[in-house]
Homo-oligomer: A and B are copies of this chain.
Amino acid sequence: MDKSLILIQCKDEVGLVALITRVLAQHQLNITAMREFVDEASERFFARIDLSGKVMEEARLKEELLEGLPQHAEIQINPRAEKRIAVLVTKEYHCLGDTLVRHFFNTLGAKVNCVAGNYEVLRSFTERFDIPFHFISHENKTKEQFEAELTTALDKYDLDFIVLAKFMRILSPAFVERYKNKIINIHHSFLPAFIGASPYRQAYERGVKLLGATAHFVTNDLDEGPIIVQQTIPVNHTFDAAQMVIAGKEIEKSALSKAMRLVFQDRVFISGNRTIIFE
């Protein structure tokens, strides 16, 4: 049976759900699951609607919805089911490994178009899965030059998302703006704790009993973008800083993997610095 998916966000107003469901009913679309949320802080309305039935006249449906909704409403009808992504890496393998294995067995929910790295370290692994690896060194280059090369490599593909799978370079505002709301990062701490470098050393010295990881969209404020997933893992006094790194990698992998699943299934909306997630 045909299934459809509609995503809507707009300013909040009285009667939005009634309006939307009336229009959908007129198009013979039956709602099988509807999630909606009003973010009262920002006065924004968000809806994710699963439908049985095929959208026959997409343009007309969109027009009829827009007619009733507040100005600047954003509507997506049947967004691309299998996202297209690039994965950016440096030297650490754990997030890339998990991603490429899921990809190989068609359970990632996305097609990995390429992997780009500022070191060669992960080339052999990537190519074993028949995925192109672009080596773009940052050495002896300005950030501008480096990112220009990166952009050239990425823009050969029609990408929905760029996944920073332990990519250890800070991206410029221009780069982030170019791929606005499309960049997902995994941060090696329970943000906002341990912002910045060497979080595991900081964590060790602070004597924490839990390590965390945070998957988030990247914005211009470093380590400050909308959080998608946070997870923690217990540690104890027997862990030195090196063992904390090992434990932390497990949770980084797990948090990024869950964030990708949620984003690729169109379950995540961005509302200012926060995310609305219809799990």
Q: Copies per complex?
A: 4
Contacts of A38 in B (CB 8 A): 32-33
A14-22, A77-85, A146-154 - the one binding chain B: A14-22
A interface secondary structure, majority: mixed
Interface residues on chain A, size class = 35 or more
Residue of B nearest to A246 (CB): B107
Taking the nearest CB of chain B, how far is it from the CB of A123, in angstroms?
13
In the bound complex, CA of A227 to CA of B227 (Å): 26
Q: Which of B31, B193, B275 contacts A193 (CB 8 A)?
A: B193
A238: interface (CB < 8 Å): yes
Roughly how many angstroms separate A104 CA and B94 CA in the complex, as a whole number? Answer: 11
Name the contact of A209 in the complex, choosing from B21, B229, B246 (C-beta under 8 A).
Answer: B229
Q: How far is the CA of A207 from the CA of B193 in the complex (A)?
A: 14
Please state if A275 and B207 are interface contacts (CB–CB under 8 Å). yes
B207 lies within 8 A of A190 (CB): no
